[in-house]
Amino acid sequence: MSTALEITDLSVSYDGVRAVRRVSLAAQSGEMVCLIGSNGAGKTSTMGAIMGVVPSTTLSIKLFGEEIGHLKPHQRVQQGLSLVPEGRGILTRMTVLENLQIGSYPARSTPVQVQADIERMFTTFPRLKERAHQLAGTMSGGEQQMLALARALMCHPRVLLLDEPSMGLSPIMVDTIFRVVEQVHKSGVTVLLVEQNAALALDIADRGYVMSSGTITLFGDANALAADQRVKEAYLGE
């Protein structure tokens, strides 16, 4: 199995205050890896730094063995990395269709390819098809999360970074989103998932990392982490 994503010594500071300290993590090709931890642990900062949208000092970020740490975010997208950010990051004053079209820009797809990708997204998310001409900002939270995920998939990522996809969603909508995440994973995409809902994350992931106060404190097989007393007490409410 090849290594899809390999992060070495990633650190993030805000105004001189260290939020993430020398984090190293990896995901093998086709793996689903989760990153769990309490509020403010540094998960979102880590995801942003991997994507290049949050400044960091990082020794190395490798995507399928190629160093991408020096690349701009859109260049990282071209290399096969996509982020669905926390809070979704969709363009609220544009329609669903426009959001999907813009989502395809970094991939430099041909118009025929873009159209095929939009149809693919509409098959995966029929709700988005029904609402193709609706302004994204007027959709429900769950619909916006679907759009954010669909937009990231327009670029055919090889590695998908998902930051808190369940945030603020009803249980039914969480089910819908996670079913698609599982489909995407089964299609061979490597997934790095940040989730506040640790039980859900450890249930769906192959492996996990636990983050606390800016550092990785535990990692391992997802089942083993879910059975770990420290994880149970701190994150699973048991």
**Distance, first Cα to last Cα, the chain:** 35
> Which CB, 80 or 165, lies closer to ligand ATP?
165
3-state SS assignment for residue 65: coil
Rule CB under 6 A: say whether 39 interacts with ligand ATP: yes
Rule CB under 6 A: say whether 37 interacts with ligand ATP: yes
- Taking alpha carbons only, the member of 192, 135, 140 closest to residue 163 is 192
Q: How far is the CB of 73 from ligand ATP (least distance, A)?
A: 16
Residue pair 159/31 in contact by the 8 Å Cβ criterion? no
Interacting stretch for ligand ATP, rule CB under 6 A, among 37-45, 112-120, 128-136, 181-189? 37-45
Could you give the C-alpha distances from 218 to 26, 115, 131, 145, 225, in angstroms and in order? 13, 43, 42, 29, 8
Q: Which of 7, 11, 32, 44 binds ligand ATP (CB under 6 A)?
A: 44
Sites for ligand ATP among residues 64-93 (CB under 6 A): 86
Task: Map tokens 């609706």 to a residue.
Answer: 134
Measured distance CA(146)–CA(177) in Å, rounded = 7
Rule CB under 6 A: say whether 105 interacts with ligand ATP: no
Encoded tokens for 40: 């403010």
3-state SS assignment for residue 60: strand
Interacting stretch for ligand ATP, rule CB under 6 A, among 32-40, 73-81, 134-142, 217-225? 32-40
- Taking alpha carbons only, the member of 180, 187, 188 closest to residue 121 is 180
Rule CB under 6 A: say whether 198 interacts with ligand ATP: no
Q: Which of 7, 23, 36, 45 binds ligand ATP (CB under 6 A)?
A: 45
Rule CB under 6 A: say whether 208 interacts with ligand ATP: no
Q: Which of 8, 196, 212, 223 binds ligand ATP (CB under 6 A)?
A: 196
Q: What does DSSP assign to residue 180?
A: H
Rule CB under 6 A: say whether 42 interacts with ligand ATP: yes
Rule CB under 6 A: say whether 58 interacts with ligand ATP: no
Alpha carbon 38 to its chain centroid, in Å, reads 17
Q: How far is the CB of 127 from ligand ATP (least distance, A)?
A: 26
> Which CB, 124 or 145, lies closer to ligand ATP?
145
Find the length of the chain: 238
Encoded tokens for 43: 């998960």
Q: Where does this chain bind ligand ATP (CB under 6 A)?
A: 14, 19, 37, 39-45, 86, 196
